[in-house]
Structure 1
């Protein structure tokens, strides 16, 4: 992450990293003075008391000379901090942990920060009324982070532009399962009554903090492989087992189908977490293992798995570009239906335009590439009108070039960040067409476009 304030020069004396980022919708997230490389989280949980004790070992590289830097952290008590093995001063300021190393860091230095902390993690209510952060379930908890809830359970640079790899080790009473992102590296159970179990999950592909998840509870674990040999790891709450039976069959087929449409699957495993938390009201594309609050229907499963390409591997540079996640994942639903005997994508487009599809309500309230505020990033225009913009590109360039664009997009920005301008440039360069008017109408203009546009 390279965010310098206007007028500052990287060659000046060591200074504080930018306390606020450049994101228009979430300006308080992130610090511009470093790039994250790896999170090593060691957590001890007591589900019955909703208590968490943690140690975060954070590796980063300084992008300027640093006298101080900030980590996003909401709630929890900080017990200590070190930088490069030396005790560091720290202070709290709202949702920031301000860390002052014993010695300033030089531009380009790779440094390790260790933060120890404990307490009751927070559940956060967002501007749109939804909840995120650390959420208690009927038999444990889950950690959901979009857009900023991950700061309730570990300190970090909680902006999607600063991705990193992860080792997350969780110890809980042995009656509980723990499911996380990536691969289960190790599982150690203590002997005897009242013992604990420790599970170590590793994510070697870069991940934005909002996609990190640990779910603690009682799960039925199903392991398998796709036809191409990709490991599939599905965790299902027993209360959802009967309704979720189709999930096991569908995931390998959806991933195989998407490989042909969007390019090779970008991670080392796939799967799902099907929990029993129906009051939550949403699913989330947590990396490699999407989280569902109850057994999903086919369209929702397609949507969250499509996010593994659009949003998880290719992640927005800023939150205003979230339509690149949601519009493309919604369009994946339309493509799946078209390929499996349902409506064509064109027919779905027309039903959205006419307002006859129930998911089309509210899609004209603002342009999808310009959410008016933080509380609107998950509103219908980002999804439905975003998908309509994608369909207009397909109409303009033809199927062969369109799917070539999608595969190029996921290849060129694999495990990175990208923005709307880059998507538009790719569409134009691959098609040889001037598409400025199309994108202006469908992404940036207010109101419902005339049918002819």
Structure 2
């Protein structure tokens, strides 16, 4: 672990680091009403902190029509519009709908077909998105609803992730409050009763990531030196927390360098990265260049994985934003997977496989949260859950196991380069995965992204011979298919062991029930499934020994259930089988045939007295016997 010397310094105008210009491409046609490309949002806000309101807000929207148009709308909830101007010309406007769905419709006197700027002046108290207090901050995915619609509550914008733009935020604040926002500080004035800060984001940014925080902050300075680049890391922390935060966030240069090595240079290298400490609320938010930390800072790196998670979002979520919220796993699944990568790298972390196992166990324990049933990764009815985070990470892990390390990390690097500063859909990633790997992966993505749940394997194995030994293995997928849970096709590793001898082999399972035969160079004492945790699954492995009372084809259950004897085979079988029932004196009372079914029922006649009876199952050329007690 590298050690970095940090100091808590006062904020000064020398912290202005202008970023290089990055032009956002026109957005794809994801809707039919939105006929323009937002190029830049320039905000100027006069904040009344005690009154918890925007005393005066000015937003200038620079946009490029994609076709001639004489009207447009912006999402704008809550606040009062004072005027809308085109240059110095007032424009007509109307407000339609209410709440999150409220839109500001703007009408031009004649059609426009070239770049224009529209100025909206407004005031009021946002109901959400912007929160006032001694620490005033923006959270555009606000609790308790956690809907990604907070931005429209404090400035007018086209509030969809697929229309990215540049941004500028000028903040007028009471004396003593320092502000941090996206991008670079281009100017500040702390000479009077009102302090002013001007932050410029010169890389394309989605509206849900546009943010600022203001408080009586100390500023912790650090630096990323990476392949000839020198970039400031600026962490804004209340003075009382500054020493603890300095320790907890001291590995940020190492984290950013690690991910830069894997995915390409930190995307906003011309500006900054930093963290801003908020009151403890149990969440963190990966605002572009400017993560907000509403978690404690204990000073012992307890949340190191979360620090890495948020930093990785600068690639996955900020540099490449989701085309739609149905693609949110491209943010959260990727960032959760990055936790495992970094924790394996960090000297104070845990091995990669151990961390993956923790993610698997967490998902399996929370699969039905919060809906009460399993949901798919793609287009989930709830966005923030173990499916989009932990299961999404496990899908990347399984993909890596299938296509190999070199191809997998090449895929991530190519994905980063192909959609840099733009948007991606799930189909973009899956198509690229097939192209890079040269493999048909539809089967994999279909079952893991577009269907819910996970496989639950019941495995029965039986050995014959010594050296070589023949293993007969039956795999049953026992998961319920409710809610669209599929039958999975997956390569499954098995490890046969006897003392120090080991034999690793892979079986491709793709049906509800399959039988396999494997030659092993020794007689194994044990068979372990998925020894390296390559598959997100649950399983039970049963060794069936060849003796009269614990045999390979021994029935799973024999029970009296409402005046009928039910015998179930261990698995569905294509073999014909016979069930015979005898009295204790050996008299044959009944014969029934399985004919490949899983269950057969023996219904005793009313004349049959209560007592003990014997049964015999003839299966695969072998006879298995047992006894049961019948009670009327």
Per the shorter chain, which TM-score range? 0.7 to 0.9
Q: Equivalent residues in 2 for 1:12-51 (5 A)? A: 18=33, 32-51=34-53
Q: Contact (CA 8 Å) 2:326, 2:379: kept in 1 or not?
A: yes
Q: Which residue number in structure 1 is paired with residue 582 of structure 2? A: none
Q: Deviations over 1:362-416 (max 9, x none)?
A: 49721111212xxx11122000110011111110111111111111111111100
Q: Contact (CA 8 Å) 1:47, 1:140: kept in 2 or not?
A: no
Q: Contact (CA 8 Å) 2:213, 2:276: kept in 1 or not?
A: no
Q: Contact (CA 8 Å) 1:313, 1:416: kept in 2 or not?
A: yes
1:63 and 2:66 are equivalent in the alignment = yes
What's the secondary structure of 1:104's corresponding residue?
strand
Q: Structure 1 residues 181, 414: closer, same or farther in 2, change over 3 A?
A: same
**Which range moves more in the overlay, 442-451 or 302-311?**
442-451
Q: Contact (CA 8 Å) 2:76, 2:104: kept in 1 or not?
A: yes
1:145 and 2:140 are equivalent in the alignment = yes
TM-score by length of 1: 0.86
Q: Which residue number in structure 2 is paired with residue 26 of structure 1? A: none
Q: Deviations over 1:67-121 (max 9, x none)?
A: 2111111111110001244211111112211111122223xx1111000011112
Q: How many residues align?
A: 410
Partners of 2:243 and 2:312 lie apart in 1 by 24
1:80 and 2:78 are equivalent in the alignment = no
Gaps of 5+ in 2: 1-26, 142-147, 298-302, 458-488, 491-632
Q: Structure 1 residues 89, 352: closer, same or farther in 2, change over 3 A?
A: same
**Larger fraction in helix:** 1
Say which of 446, 449, 474 aligns to 1:443: 449
Q: Contact (CA 8 Å) 1:87, 1:102: kept in 2 or not?
A: no
Q: Structure 1 residues 353, 293: closer, same or farther in 2, change over 3 A?
A: closer
Q: Structure 1 residues 353, 225: closer, same or farther in 2, change over 3 A?
A: closer
Partners of 2:242 and 2:264 lie apart in 1 by 31
Q: Which residue number in structure 1 is paired with residue 103 of structure 2? A: 96
Which structure would you say has the larger RCO, counting Cα contacts within 8 Å and 6 or more residues apart?
Answer: 1
**Structure having the higher Rg:** 2
Say which of 367, 375, 378 aligns to 2:376: 367
Q: Contact (CA 8 Å) 1:392, 1:438: kept in 2 or not?
A: no
TM-score by length of 2: 0.62
Q: Please state how far the C-alpha of 1:450 moved relative to its aligned partner.
A: 4.2
Q: Which residue number in structure 2 is paired with residue 12 of structure 1? A: none
Q: Contact (CA 8 Å) 1:84, 1:111: kept in 2 or not?
A: no
What's the secondary structure of 1:393's corresponding residue?
helix
Q: Please state how far the C-alpha of 1:196 moved relative to its aligned partner.
A: 0.6
Q: Which residue number in structure 2 is paired with residue 21 of structure 1? A: none
**Which range moves more in the overlay, 139-148 or 163-172?**
139-148
Q: Which residue number in structure 2 is paired with residue 22 of structure 1? A: none
Q: Please state how far the C-alpha of 1:224 moved relative to its aligned partner.
A: 2.6
Q: Which residue number in structure 1 is paired with residue 579 of structure 2? A: none
Say which of 127, 132, 139 aligns to 1:136: 132
Say which of 200, 203, 206 aligns to 2:204: 206
Q: Please state how far the C-alpha of 1:269 moved relative to its aligned partner.
A: 3.4
1:307 and 2:298 are equivalent in the alignment = no
1:111 and 2:106 are equivalent in the alignment = no
Q: Structure 1 residues 310, 188: closer, same or farther in 2, change over 3 A?
A: same
